[in-house]
Structure 1
Amino acid sequence: MKLNTDGSSVDTLGLAGGGGVVRDEQGNWVFGYARKIGSVNSLLAELWTLRDGLFLYLQAQVHALIVEMDAKALVDAFSNQTNSNVIISALMDDCRQLATQISQVRFRHVYREVNRCADHLAKLGCSMDVDFAVFSSPPVDIISFVEADWRGLYVNRLCPVAVSFV
């Protein structure tokens, strides 16, 4: 299975949220979730969301997982276990401990364009009236993204043009 997670921080309002989606090996929606986190930075929002996803995944009692995130710093931190940061260490330790309970787990960086379902769930988390919600089917406003992912459609990523000064 595959877990895509994303955190979102709305700087102007000081609010953060997170969301994620678990899909099976055919790309079908298994469940999604969103959390209203409160006032934290985007890195902490990403970690809270990852923790929620790993916890929910473990409850499903499946043994192999690919975690895709657009937070490259966190993917790198899971690849290099020696990095430490006192501010996020307790939450990071929770995520690492949950990940060790999964027989096969791999963390992979993906660009934001690939992570659109999780991104929309994270933004939903910022504005929810409840603190946490699990979705057995996709919320209406992300169905088009779920279908595009399932069909293997992709979004072009605009890259800056390299300029050479001679």
Structure 2
Amino acid sequence: METEKSCLFFQQEGAAAGGGLIRDEGGNWVAGFSRKIGRTNSFVAEIWALRDGLQLCQQMNARAVMIELDAKSLVDVLNNSSYYNAVISPLLDDYKFLISQIPQVRVRHTYREANKCADCLANLGLSQSLDYIVHSNPPLELIPLIEADSLGSFCNRLCPGLVSFF
């Protein structure tokens, strides 16, 4: 089964949360998760959510995983095998172990605008009473975003440094 996972950090009043989703090769919902993380920085929250998503992929016996992250700095770290940071080393070790259990893994960057479903799940994590929730069905708040994805809806992104000609 080919799966896709996104994760995201959201911070409000110092509280961090993460969320992500797994889709099949047709882009259909398979599962999702949301986590209340607590106080931390965005980089740690991103890698924490990545770890949660990979654990969920492993539990579902995913054989091929495309990881899409909107945190370019984390994508760069994950694609650099010589990177070391003592603060996040345990989470990076978990990441390395989890991807070693999945035959095919690819990590790529996606823009935040394309990551709205994961953003919604992260927002749910901020207000949930449990630390970690696996969603076997999309939460109601997420359904319009999933429908927009399936219809191929998009939003424009302004890219700094691009020159337009009239």
With the length of structure 2 as denominator, give the TM-score of the two structures. 0.92
| 1: CA distance, partners of 2:160 / 2:77 | 27
| 1: CA distance, partners of 2:140 / 2:51 | 25
Partner of 1:90: 90
2:147 pairs with 1:147: yes
| 2: CA distance, partners of 1:54 / 1:37 | 16
2:112 pairs with 1:112: yes
| 2: CA distance, partners of 1:45 / 1:127 | 16
Mapping for residues 3-152 of structure 1, pairs under 5 Å: 3-10=5-12, 13-152=13-152
| 1: CA distance, partners of 2:57 / 2:64 | 10
> Is there any run of 5+ residues in structure 2 with no aligned partner, and where?
none
> Shift of the alpha carbon at 1:100?
1.2
| 2: CA distance, partners of 1:72 / 1:52 | 18
| 2: CA distance, partners of 1:152 / 1:99 | 30
How large is the Cα RMSD of the aligned pairs?
A: 1.3
| 2: CA distance, partners of 1:57 / 1:161 | 37
What code does the residue aligned with 2:11 have?
A: S
| 2: CA distance, partners of 1:50 / 1:138 | 19
Query: Quick check: 1:66–1:107 contact (8 Å CA) kept in 2?
Result: yes
Percent sequence identity over matched residues?
50
With the length of structure 1 as denominator, give the TM-score of the two structures. 0.92
| 2: CA distance, partners of 1:100 / 1:9 | 30
| 2: CA distance, partners of 1:83 / 1:160 | 28
> Shift of the alpha carbon at 1:151?
2.0
